[in-house]
Structure 1
Amino acid sequence: MVPSTVNQLSQPCIYGEFASSNGGERKSRFMNWLSKLFKSGSNRGDVGGSTHHPQLLGEENMIWPAPATSLDDRYRAQKEKEELDRAIELSQAEEFRRPNGYRRRADNDEQLARALQDGLHSPPYPAYPPVPYYAREFRICGGCKRNIGYGVYLGCMGTFFHPECFCCHACGYPITEYEFSLSGRDPYHKSCYKELKHPKCEVCHQFIPTNAAGLIEYRCHPFWSQKYCPSHEYDNTARCCSCERLESWNARYYSLGDGRRLCLECMESAVMDTGDCQPLYHAIRDYYEGMNMKLDQQIPMLLVERQALNEAIVGEKNGVHHMPETRGLCLSEEQTVTSIYRRPRIGGYRLVGMRTLPQKLTRKCEVTAILVLYGLPRLLTGAILAHELMHGWLRLKGFRNLNPVVEEGICQVLSYMWLESEVTTRFGSMPSTSAASSSSSSSKKGGKSDVENKLGEFFMHQIANDASPAYGGGFRAANAAVNKYGLRSTLDHIHYTGNFPF
């Protein structure tokens, strides 16, 4: 068993033999004095009330303090030396008065006296260093996996470490602070652990503060996992009108001039005017035709500003349901609509130089025109077009007075199916409409960037998780029917019954 502390204090021991003749010979005067001198010297260590003990650090490091001396000790030692010299002189004088047989014993007495005098003034601790304490078992460092040997070491988590081997798992530097953080079996500086584990706001880039209960409270986008302080929902922080991400303090968004803001990633593929949108529109019409849902009528399509779209909604009389933020509309009434015919330029973080043109729409069939909000990414613009074209197809095919849940639900299914075809055909393994739009360089090459594909996945996520009864609930019911019975059978059932097959 290895002791936890070692306290050893060695006291010098003095042994001596006095030769005598005839067994009962009395002591000389010199030896009587020497006996009293020895007694006084042995009691000298208790003067002053302090005892010096060796200090033991851990089990290996011993520090042996040197004995302290004072002026009283030096004075006493000088006086004893003078008395000893005087006693030796008296002894020598007495020797000459004694017979020869006693002189040999006097010589022995003198040598013994000097030996005892030297012993009395020897230091209480040995002059050589103490024998180090050797542990019975080797200690292996948990860091370098080597034997610790002798010296300072640390004990933590049931393992021993060299001080320089007990390092932070994040920065790799030794942990010298009294407190540290622990994650599993990995130690960290408290500052490194906070930097690594404490969530940071992705808007202001500060550590998210704790609430009144001392808990870290933050908001997180369900798709992008963007974490931010709850206060940014009320401090007028800009939000992208397309992907819904909040504007970061180190990445400004573009202003579209109608209260909407667009992030840099969505801006890369944004469709800005009616001319840019025409190839995408015709490609989606071809997508419908490929599913045997050809639109026989040429329905005009216009890209419009937010205000023009809201005015068109007010002029529409058939009572169709729209989302809180309307992005598209299938018109059935004659109206005059202001469309964008020349795309704006980017000036700083603003769009300037937009040209608009009023257009009078006349009714030639059940559908007057399709309107789409400008400035949205290509995939979102296409999803809106696919949705509104389905409204047009239903009206042209004689689907009358449908329940909003049924009509909006089946239109959302067609929008979702088109997005799915775009996202899953990134490398052109299946027919795709990605080459139809000239609004982005990636589309011109027949492929899409990772950013654009991620946006497509987000728009599909929006459709699938919409909470509104008509758009969200309608989509989930329509999608379940299409997955079970197929699109054509579902449409036929809607045409005859006005509801989804179950």
Structure 2
Amino acid sequence: MDWLSRIFESTTHEASERQYNGRYGENAASIITYSSSSWASRPEIEDIDRTIAISLAEEGKQKHMINDSQLKEDEYLARALQESLKVEPPPRNRNVNQNGNVRQPMPFPYSTGFRICAGCNHAIGHGRHLSCMGAVWHPECLRCHACNLPIADYEFSMLGNYAYHKACYKERHHPRCDVCQHFIRTNAAGFIEYKTHPFWAQKYCPFHEHDGTPRCCSCERMEPRETRYAALNDGRKLCLECLNSAVMDTTACQPLYLDIQQFYEGLDMKLEQKIPLLLVDMQALNEAMDGERNGHYHMPETRGLCLSEEQTVSTVLRQPRIGIGNRVPNMRIEPYKLTGRCEVTAILILYGLPRLLTGSILAHEMMHAWLRLKGYRTLRQDVEEGICQVLAHMWLTSQIASISSRQGKRSQLEKKLAEFFKHQIESDQSQVYGNGFRAGNRAVLKYGLQKTLYHIRSTGNFPF
């Protein structure tokens, strides 16, 4: 030390004896003893004291500076550790629609080693990691639920607790149009907008209702692009499934007519008189409807008509040959005169409809004929149309029971069609046909068909 060297220099010429006790070393204390005969003068002693005091002060100052620097370094490390333990939530993304949430993972340049990866459940060491969905991940552990590949994109989609690439999410969950097979577009508000059939659950772009896309006149389904269909001569379109069982002429309808007559006999409602049944096209049916003052028919689209006046109508005599995608050629039509020897002159049914739909319409029109032949007075329209719909519904129910006992793909298609035609009757929202059916069906379920008919004949209303 400097002060010790100065002491030695100032006392060299007077020192007569020096005695050293103790050991010298890095951690050992050094003790220096001077004899009285070799001690310096008073001013020199005071100078030595001042030198020692200054040296001690400088040494303490250096120690304080070292401690202060160490404290600042510790505080800095503590703050760094505290900041590294904060997990920021992923930023809210405004591009969120009804089909899934789009999230953005937050990349971190390093890890402190105190986190567990939500994908592999192993500790995240010193390296890059992602923070999203309330957890942290190795970049390779955040994987798409669809393709199982790492999500390296800046944005991804969420469905429940699963993450997807945006493209994978769209491919798996974004609805496609059943007509054009394209992804259904979003509207101006950013929402997916499409039309759907209440029974078939068919989804399609709204503009297909106005772009000439054919719709089956029987099952009401939109025809997918590149799908073949039959175009009837009166402008109606028929899908191939409905075409497979379509009744195309009067002769082909006679076995079905006999089947429904037996159905009525089973209900103890036999028709004693044979009523002519004719299959006609749309034009002939409309002409007959215009000339019939007391006819009963379906609205808004006429498919069947029960006539009670003498008329001449054109009937389809020979089954036409079906042309796929174009008009039906070679259909032969000839006049048929209806005589008025009874109150019911004929039942007219639109040709080209599937057997089950033709049968339900025939069961409805035969009920009109039965009421006329049994002398029922003129009924309120919702009562008469309602009980006729009940008979059509009952016949379809019997057909479904019969089809269910058979096996095969064709039977399943027929059953589905029968269920659809029942659904049409049940879901009809019109005042006459819809409400009339529901009131009549409740009465039949509660009191039975015969008591309901007796009450209608007596009062003109359904029993309650």
State TM-score, norm by structure 2: 0.71
How far does the alpha carbon of each residue in 1:310-343 deviate from its partner, in whole angstroms, 9 at most, with x for none? 1111221225454111001111112222222322
**1:412/1:463 contact within 8 Å kept:** yes
How far does the alpha carbon of each residue in 1:42-68 deviate from its partner, in whole angstroms, 9 at most, with x for none? xxxxxxxxxxxxxxxxx9xxxxxxxxx
**1:367/1:392 contact within 8 Å kept:** yes
Aligned to 1:364: 341
How far does the alpha carbon of each residue in 1:114-151 deviate from its partner, in whole angstroms, 9 at most, with x for none? xxxxxxxxxxxxxxxxxxx9976673552x55666665
**Structure 2 stretches lacking a partner, 5+ long:** 10-83, 85-109
SS at 2:404 equivalent? coil
State the identity as a percent: 62
Mapping 1:363-402, distance limit 5 Å = 363-402=340-379
Residue identity matched to 1:486: G
**1:320/1:404 contact within 8 Å kept:** no
State TM-score, norm by structure 1: 0.66
Aligned with 1:348 (options 276, 299, 324): 324
| Structure-2 separation of matches of 1:239 and 1:457 | 19
Deviation at 1:402, TM superposition (A): 0.9
Aligned to 1:101: none
Q: Does 1:464 align with 2:433?
A: no
Deviation at 1:152, TM superposition (A): 4.5
**Structure 1 stretches lacking a partner, 5+ long:** 1-19, 25-58, 60-132, 430-441
Aligned with 1:237 (options 210, 213, 225): 213
Aligned to 1:338: 314
Deviation at 1:451, TM superposition (A): 1.7
Q: Does 1:178 align with 2:154?
A: yes
Deviation at 1:300, TM superposition (A): 1.3
Q: Does 1:294 align with 2:270?
A: yes
| Structure-2 separation of matches of 1:136 and 1:259 | 74
| Structure-2 separation of matches of 1:391 and 1:493 | 17
CA RMSD of aligned residues (A): 2.7
Mapping 1:399-410, distance limit 5 Å = 399-410=376-387
SS at 1:449 equivalent? helix
Q: Does 1:303 align with 2:303?
A: no
Residue identity matched to 2:373: L
Q: Does 1:425 align with 2:402?
A: yes
Deviation at 1:160, TM superposition (A): 4.2
Over 3 Å counting, the alpha-carbon distance change for 1:178 and 1:261 in structure 2 is: same
Aligned to 2:440: 478
Aligned to 2:415: 453
Over 3 Å counting, the alpha-carbon distance change for 1:215 and 1:261 in structure 2 is: same
| Structure-2 separation of matches of 1:300 and 1:197 | 54
Residue identity matched to 1:226: Q
**1:203/1:248 contact within 8 Å kept:** yes
Aligned to 1:498: 460
Mapping 1:244-255, distance limit 5 Å = 244-255=220-231
Aligned with 1:224 (options 197, 200, 204): 200
Bigger relative contact order, structure 1 or 2 (CA pairs below 8 A, ≥6 apart): 1
How far does the alpha carbon of each residue in 1:174-230 deviate from its partner, in whole angstroms, 9 at most, with x for none? 211111011111001112222233322222222322333333222221111222222
Residue identity matched to 1:353: N
Q: Does 1:489 align with 2:451?
A: yes
Deviation at 1:422, TM superposition (A): 1.1
Figure out how many residues of one structure are paired with residues of the other and give that number: 361
**2:111/2:127 contact within 8 Å kept:** no
Over 3 Å counting, the alpha-carbon distance change for 1:253 and 1:145 in structure 2 is: farther
Over 3 Å counting, the alpha-carbon distance change for 1:298 and 1:456 in structure 2 is: same
| Structure-2 separation of matches of 1:134 and 1:185 | 25
